[in-house]
Structure 1
Amino acid sequence: MERSNFIWKWIFLFLMHFTQSYAEKPSVTEMYSRREELNLLKSVLKRFSALEELEKENINKMESIERKLNIISEKISDCVGGISVHPSIPTSQTTRKSPNTTVKIKSAHTTRTQSATTETTSTKPTSSITQLPRSIGSRGREFLILFMKNHPAAKGSPTIYITTGGNASVNISTSNDLNASTKLATDIILNVSYYSNITLPYDLSCDYLSIESKAVLLQTSELSTVSIFDSFHKSSNDGTLIISTNRLSTRYLVSSTNPYKKSEGYYSQFAVAALYKDTNVNITFKMKTSTSISLLGGTYEDQDVLTTTLNKYETLQIMHTSDLTGTFIESTKRIAVFSGNRCQQMKVLACSHMVSQLPPTTELDNRYIIPAFYGNLGTLIQVISESQNSIKISEGRNSSTLHMNEKEFMNIEVTSGETTTVESDNPVLVTGFAMGSSNKDPYMTVIPGVNQYVDYYNVVVPDGYAKNYICVIIQQKYTDDLKINDTSTDHYKSVQQSSAAFETTYSIRIFEVDSGPIVISTTNNSTFGLIVYGHRMDDGYAFTGNYVLS
């Protein structure tokens, strides 16, 4: 115990010295040196964490240190990122092996299979990227992930996609209370060269109405973008961007749709994951007044409040045969929240899984541009307000202003193919649902607000889909500054173009792209919105490039 107290004293002294010296505006050389000091301190903390498992009374101290380190790390990232250039996409690759899984390693012309856990790909760039991004957005070094239940027939593996700025060390870890065989097949430390696809066990999918230890923590040594897809099925799948843990918070609004059928395959659902121990969670349900939910020893109706406590990496997934949209979740510590439908049917004869991680209410915007989803028979737009609000909705030349009450939501169905704008007095959550077509099933994503646009995105377009698209929303005067993989957009097929306006006119362009990593940026740091989506027979997916305030 004396040794433990000595180490804690040393850590706090280091933090005091580091914070004071950071405030003195160090030189570039000093900043790089201090980044190495921070990495050394993180290494010490990682080794010291093993001791903490035996010293439960120090857990609160450890969490306090972790939060301070994350804040300092983000500050250093901003400073160092402002004096360096984007690395070129490397041509080499490294993968650390671990048991019980397989990996495909691809190059431009060959494919081979090895015994390992990840699919890692390196691509030679057409040219180096020299424009410096101003915004980090949803990128980060730590991500809290959970996997929701897909259609009952979906028994395939869930997948994590990660892109980095170059070579990075990635650590995936789970709770010590997780099933031993699942933990063995999940936990891994590996080196990633630019991007990687990581396949995880199906057993990580959350069950309903019970508290489980199924959250996954992903940590990287470099700023990264992470997206996931729930358990695979060829005709029922969807994906979502993952928000870094430093942008998580304690207040969330659930977005879903009314199940097409009152059966287990179509549930409206949401799930919560805790980042810290002793996280108290209050869930205020919103559902039809004639229905109820029974879980954790109680029965809950509309406006009833469920109070429970989640420990580190614990999850709780809740479902119902009526729409849970507008359910309000509040916690005492940061949590991650996901929602959607287990499977949903709209304008087609079959259903497909829908999922998105939700931004906390502190990250919501009050201006949104919502393009129609290309190749679909309609787009359902959902607006949810945390407080009383006045909402102006414009579709083409038509507009109307509506009043919304606290925790109220409205659904707007757009079949004209027109772009819709939403402007509100107070921040709102806006979600878009592609309603499908004769051979495409529904999917969903959170829509980015104008103040959530950033100037740089580095994402993976998943493989396995017949057509993939990126939808870019950018001020019209900056369209010539837009680059895809550091080349002109003229090199990419544009399948649809439209416009929308607030004080300035925005151009909305949809490009067809190939699967794999893709960097979209501007040469003058002008910001823009990004939605990635794609189709295959009886299935589709979508996710947004960023949906936290920039």
Structure 2
Amino acid sequence: MAEPTLTRNNRLYGHLRGPHCLDTFLCIFAGSRGRAFIVLFTRNIAPSIKSIYVTSENGTQINIATSPNLDSGIKNQTDKSLVIPSNKRFLIPTDMELLSFKKEVKSIWIETSEDAFIISRDEFKNGYSVGSTTHIPLRKLSTSYVVITTDPEYGSKSQIAVAAIEDNTTISITFRMKKNHFLDINGEFFYNGEVFKLPLSRFETYLIEHDADLTGTVIESDLPIATFSGNDCNTLNKKGGCDHLKEQIPPVSSVDRAYIVPPNSPDIDTCIRITAIEPTNFTFNIDGFERLMTLDGLDSYDLDIASNESCTIESTRPILVTSFSLHSKTSELGDPSMVIVPGVNQYLDYYKIVVPSGYDYNYVSIMIKESSKNSLQINESGILPNVIFDQNVLVGNTKYSVRSINVTEGELTASSVDGERFGLMFAGVKDFNSYGFSGNSLLV
């Protein structure tokens, strides 16, 4: 099968034109929907099932391609070209998992004829850990990123993974280590604040792992790249088991300044990490308790909310906000999951997404202006199923409705009749397992 055809000549890195974007308005405002993506699977601590879920509005031609230099046996299992009617799950060979500190050709390129939404999942074969992420269209990728990980428990690792889109790409990684432990990269030692330079070619990937929290590490490149970060496996509140954490990180050019963080699910608390791109003042508000904070550039602040609370965050400068689900304090439900929270300027007015199967409970959280909440439709119905959380919050002078609902597995559409944009976050739990992902994490 031929390599993906998108190149800089047809404006891959701006808003697509020509046959890849017949409707300019949709291409500019589609958020995480797009027609070309890169998927990576970072190293997991145990054998895992790797899946890619593709959802389109009315069906699409899909091409899945890997490097011509990839082992032919793995390539033949991965590469595909077919028409899907609405959504499809693709199983990916375990050998596509990245190895640390090694240049490999393990990026998976996906190209569709119509706009699509893509998530990937990496789940232990025993079902007790899963990492998932929403993928970012290639047209939204850029050259500057800030990493989010968590402090690894003994024996586990934080992770950074990058993939080049073009040949002769130079990547510079400026490390920020919560513990000033040196990082050994093939015999060369790096300390906090030091820079690792990495040349990569098209299809090439590289995975870095460390026993320290790497949040605030800066990744810059001379050409657009895809960046992922998280942990091979971690527990965050010393309860339950460890879970694989991974997110495709949005470029700093797509980061917002105002956020609403919903609770994760009943009886499960949420840890929120606020990471400054540059020095900033911000306020957070939890049930009327408001606090003003200051962060230096690349610093982070963590706070927790209970399952009956939501949190608003407003900053003078762009910030990254990450939500981490925790294990239940009173049952065996849940375990850590990691989600980049959508900012209020990253909301869309339409989503079509597959809710994964195999979970005891699946939840969707909706953040919409209170004046438009009655225009919201789930699966073309204005009657929301099983509302388990309902609260109004203020962002600036605007009142928002924050609701969480219980939904069943399978295809889900969400839209607003009046065209108002809204945020969407997904979560699911079962014993010692949870997943989470957002409907969009990019400025529109």
Three-state SS of the structure 2 residue aligned to 1:166 is coil
| Alignment correspondent of 1:175 | 67
What do you get for the CA RMSD once the two structures are aligned?
2.1
User: Residue 78 of structure 1 aligns to which amino acid in structure 2?
Assistant: T
Alignment-derived partner of residue 376 in structure 2: 482
Q: 1:390 to 1:189 in 2, by over 3 A?
A: same
Unaligned runs of 5+ in 2: none
Corresponding position: 1:244 with 2:190: no
Query: Does the 8 Å CA contact 2:270/2:307 hold for their aligned counterparts?
Result: no
Stretch deviating more after TM superposition (139-148 or 493-502): 493-502
**Matched residues in 2 for 1:175 and 1:236: separation?**
29
Alignment-derived partner of residue 526 in structure 1: 420
Pair 1:200 & 2:92 matched: yes
C-alpha distance in structure 2 between counterparts of 1:64 and 1:305, whole Å: 31
- 2:265–2:427 contact (8 Å) kept in structure 1: no
Equivalent position of 1:43 in the other structure: none
Please state how far the C-alpha of 1:149 moved relative to its aligned partner.
Answer: 1.6
Alignment of structure 1 residues 289-308 onto 2, 5 Å: 289-308=179-198
Mapped partners of 1:483, 1:377: distance in 2: 26
Partner in structure 2 of residue 542 of structure 1:
436
- Which residue of structure 2 aligns with residue 67 of structure 1? 12
Amino acid aligned to 2:311: T
Alpha-carbon spacing, 1:351–1:524, altered in 2? closer, same or farther (3 Å): same
Structure 1, 340-349 or 271-280: larger mean CA deviation: 340-349
User: CA separation in 2, counterparts of 1:349 and 1:416?
Assistant: 17
Q: Does 1:452 align with 2:318?
A: no
Q: Structure 1 residue aligned with 2:294, among 399, 403, 411?
A: 403
**Distance in 2 between residues matched to 1:67 and 1:376, nearest whole Å:** 44
CA distance in 2, matches of 1:449, 1:76: 28
Which has the larger strand fraction? 2
Greater mean alpha carbon deviation, residues 288-297 or residues 207-216: 288-297
- What is the distance in 1 between the residues matched to 2:378 and 2:307? 29
Instruction: Tell me the CA shift for residue 416 of structure 1.
Output: 6.7
Q: Deviations over 1:179-208 (max 9, x none)?
A: 221111101101100110011101111111
State the SS of the aligned residue for 2:49: coil
Q: Aligned letter for 2:133?
A: T
Letter in 2 for 1:484: I
Distance 2:103 2:56 in 1: 33
Offset of residue 323 of structure 1: 0.6
Deviates more, 1:516-525 or 1:296-305: 296-305
Tell me the SS of whatever aligns to 2:345: helix
* Residue 375 (structure 1) aligns with: 266
Please state how far the C-alpha of 1:413 moved relative to its aligned partner.
2.1
Match of 1:77 in 2: 23
Separation in 1, partners of 2:64, 2:33: 17
Which residue matches 1:324?
A: 214
Q: Would you say the 8 A contact 2:266–2:308 is kept in 1?
A: no
Task: Give the AA of the match of 1:193.
Answer: P
**SS of structure 1 residue aligned to 2:87:** strand
Range 383-392 or range 61-70, more displaced: 61-70
Structure 2 match to 1:87 = none
| Structure 1 counterpart of 2:110, one-letter code | L
1: CA distance, partners of 2:31 / 2:417: 18
Alpha-carbon distance in structure 1 between the residues aligned to 2:180 and 2:30: 45
2:387 is aligned, of 470, 494, 500, to 494
Partner of 2:337: 443
Tell which structure's C-alpha radius of gyration is larger.
Answer: 1
Deviation at 1:289, TM superposition (A): 5.0
Q: Which has the bigger relative contact order, CA under 8 A and spacing at least 6?
A: 2
For residues 346-371 of structure 1, give each alpha carbon's deviation from its aligned partner in whole angstroms, at most 9, with x where no partner exists.
Answer: 23231111111111000000000111
Q: Is the 8 A contact 1:262 1:322 kept in 2?
A: no
Q: Is the 8 Å Cα contact of residues 135 and 456 (structure 1) preserved in structure 2?
A: no
The answer to whether residue 105 in structure 2 is matched with residue 213 in structure 1 is yes
Task: Give the counterpart letter for 2:82 in structure 1.
Answer: L
Structure (1/2) with the larger helix percentage: 1
Q: Secondary structure at the match of 2:317?
A: strand
1:284 and 2:178 matched: no
Q: Cα–Cα, structure 1 residues 68 and 501, in superposed 2: closer, same or farther, change >3 Å? A: closer
> Taking structure 1 as reference, are residues 450 and 377 closer, same or farther at Cα in structure 2, changes over 3 Å only?
same
Conserved 8 A contact 2:11-2:17: no
| 2:59 partner SS | strand
One-letter amino acid matched to 1:245: L
Inter-partner Cα distance in structure 2 for 1:157 and 1:136: 29
Are residues 299 and 455 of structure 1, via their aligned partners in 2, closer, same or farther at CA, if it must alter by over 3 Å? same
